[in-house]
Every structure is written in C-alpha cells, then in structure tokens.
Amino acid sequence: MKRRVTLLLLCSLILPALPTDAVVINLSPRDCEEAISFGKAHRASIDKELDKRYAFGSAEEYADGGTVHSKWYKLALMAGYKAQRGEAVTPQEQSEILADPCLQINITVHGQSLDFAKAYQVTMQQQGKEIKADKIHADHFTHQHSDKNQPAGFPCCRAVLRAYFKYSDIDPAGTAILIVKKDSKTVRFDIDIARFR
C-alpha cells in the first residue's frame, strides 16, 4: 500500500511538470513547486532532460538548433543544479527568475574562428510582426576531439547565441519564426512557443 501511495505521489509531481500549451509568464506557486520538483527529480541529467523537452531545430552535432529557456525551464534548471550540491533554491533566486521580463532563446551556431558569432542578428516573426531581440550575447567554444585532429570540412568552433525577447512583445501561446542572420546567411526556425511551459 505504501508503495502505491509513494508511486502515485511521485507521478503526480513529475507528470504535470512536462511542457504544456503555453509559455507561462507568471508562474503560480504550484508551477514553481512543479519546476523545482522536476529539477530535483532529474538532478543527475537536468540539462539533457530539459533540453530534449525545450529543443527546436536539429539535434545533430554540427547542425543549427537551440532551446527555449522559459521561467519554468530556468527554475527547474537551477533546482537541479542546486540539488546536485545538496542545496535548495532560495526565495531570492526564485524571485529573480520570476521577475525576469524576457524569454531567453539559445541558438547553437558553428563557424571557423573563435569570434565568428559577433555579427549575428536574431529576430522573431510572430503574427506578421517582426520582434527584435532585446539583447543578444554569444558564448564561444572550440570543438574538442578525442584524437586532437579536427575532422576535415567541419567547423572548429561553436557559439551559443543567447537572444532575449521581452514577454510583453510576444504571444506566449502562439507560433513564431526565429530568424538568425549573419552576412548573407539566414537560418529560420519554426517554433511553437505554446509547446513550451
């Protein structure tokens, strides 16, 4: 009997934590509890668990793709990281996430030099309206290969572009086209924002 109750309780905590039908801008106390419970339950692989639920584009190693980082995502991620260290999310940390005015969208791009991502522009088209990112930040990395030799024809560097869109400018229950541009290269991603929580 105790096993059934425990299993039921565990299922009731994890199942509601899966993505729903709109990005939640104002998380309720229950939403916060669910995000924190999800983070704790998946602490060992929190990045992978969230990324596979919030990903768009291609998951291939050298292809362009990304993840949507909603408030729910950020709270679950922080709870997972903190749980790895035996800590809990503080009320101040939770408040900072809840007060964030922007939806963060991370886009992974590839290039041939460490600073290749400097000139990227990211915009979103939604309901016939072009929405510019409030800010864009790029983190650059070199690809590490076990044999220390770069495979021929593959880029040696990657960058994670972090584009921030004000929640007040977007429709969290709609679809959008994310446009990533640099020089003459343009990549478009169809994103169903409503798919993410």
pLDDT at position 179: 96
Pairwise CA distance, residues 159 & 110, whole Å: 6
pLDDT tier at 171 (50, 70, 90 boundaries)?
very high
Q: Which residues pair with 55 in a beta bridge?
A: 67
- Examine the pLDDT at 18 and tell me if it is beyond 70: no
Whole-prediction pTM value? 0.81
3-state secondary structure of 65: strand
Pairwise CA distance, residues 88 & 43, whole Å: 12
Split into its structural domains, the chain has a count of 1
Query: Residue 132's domain spans which residues?
Result: 2-195
Q: Identify the CA nearest to 116 among candidates 53, 27, 72, 182.
A: 182
pLDDT at position 14: 42
pLDDT digits (tens, 9 = 90+) for 66-123: 999 999 999 999 999 999 999 999 999 999 999 999 999 999 988 877 778 888 999 9
pLDDT above 70 covers what percent of the chain? 81
